[in-house]
Amino acid sequence: MTPPLRTALLQSSGKLSDVGQNIEILDDAARRAALAGAGLLIAPEMFLTGYAIGDDVHRLAEPADGPSARRLGAVAARHGIALAYGYPERGAGGETYNAVQLIGPDGLPLANYRKTHLFGDFERAYFTPGDTPVVQAELGGLRLGFLICYDVEFPENVRAHAVAGTDLLVVPTAQMQPFEFVAESVVPTRAFESQLYVAYVNRIGTEGEFEFVGLSCLAGPDGIAHARAAKGEELLLADADPELLRASRAANPYLADRRPELY
């Protein structure tokens, strides 16, 4: 029997444009999460640099195997915990992607996903959209998948993960007012309709024109938020349980009962 994967959700915005300080924040969160028995720590969208940082998005962008990834690999290995964090990725042609990287508990990279659905004028001005809809990795007996913020609001994206066998969907987020209902209602619905866990990890506070709403959660396949943050800084802990997945999928066989030839 596969044990639950204790998952730590770091609801924070770190320090804008200060990569070194944000790595230190991740180091401390990884230490605390590991001591609490977590096997995975997830940080919000663009956590490494900050979200609303203007041209610093391009200045601070790094390749997936850049210096920050190597430093965070050392953090993961030191604490024996996997890390998923949002950052601006510099592509081979100089383009910038809004990305999330997963580093394993041995310090080695496991997956890198580029946001496919960019939100609003700000993101379209600074980022190139990714073109790979489903990126996955294995961790702790579960299959992890990755989306970023606005991506999860498209049911097609989540269903593609469900069909591909994702058990825990990791969603670093920069969700702002007036869209609290996405965190409160849409995310648990996505988890239920596609029968998987969704770890939705948000920023907090104000950055430029954006006021982030917090409300991070781990939503289960039963449509329930098994842990829910408020609107301040928080390290939230909850379990992604393979046994609940198995039982819920048996009771709610949406994937087996689909008729995709009609859609």
Catalytic residues: 45, 115, 149
What are residue 31's phi and psi, to 5 degrees?
Answer: -60, -50
Identify the sign of the CA torsion 46, 48, 53, 54. negative
Q: Give the side-chain half-sphere CA count within 13 A for 45.
A: 31
What distance in Å separates the CA atoms of residue 151 and residue 153, rounded to the nearest whole number? Answer: 5
Give per-residue burial for 234-257: e unless 16+ CB within 10 Å, then b: bbbbbbbbbebbeebbeebeeeee
Strand partners, 168: 144, 197
DSSP code, position 176: B
